[in-house]
Amino acid sequence: MLVEVDEIGQRRFKGMVPDDAVAISVQRLFMQQLASTVTTVLSFLPMILLPGPAGDFVESIATAVVVMLVWSFLVAVAVTPAMAGRALKAPDTAPRPDHRR
């Protein structure tokens, strides 16, 4: 998420409007975030499918981790960019007065 916020901030600093900065940043980072989430979810899938007493013990933990990962992905591609687009402002381009005279 921090990478996405940083990228949106850099685009806003260069003068992009918020909607464009968010759209381009999300589009650019979407596949990397999706791949990371899917590979981690797949690593916990055998724990969910584990039979017997061991499966009973770790199934709820693995399920909680998978749900958290999916939720985190959704927040990272929807909520965080929207908030960053609104919160990060472009720098003022007006010249600042020199008070050292």
What digits encode the pLDDT tens for the residues 57-90? 899 999 999 999 999 999 999 999 999 988 888 7
What is the model's pTM?
0.77
**Under 8 Å CB-to-CB from 66, ≥6 apart: which residues?**
41, 44, 45, 48
Residue 10 structure tokens: 């850099």
- In the prediction, which pLDDT does 29 show? 93
Question: Which burial class, exposed, middle or buried, applies to 2 when counting CB atoms under 10 A from its CB (0-12, 13-18, 19+)?
Answer: exposed
- In the prediction, which pLDDT does 94 show? 45
Question: Which burial class, exposed, middle or buried, applies to 65 when counting CB atoms under 10 A from its CB (0-12, 13-18, 19+)?
Answer: middle
Domain locations in the chain as residue ranges: 2-87
Residue 46 structure tokens: 């055998």
What is d(CA 66, CA 78) in angstroms, rounded to the nearest whole number?
Answer: 18
Nearest C-alpha neighbor of 1 from the set 33, 23, 27: 33
**Under 8 Å CB-to-CB from 58, ≥6 apart: which residues?**
47, 50
Interval 6-31: pLDDT, tens: 999 999 888 889 899 999 999 999 99
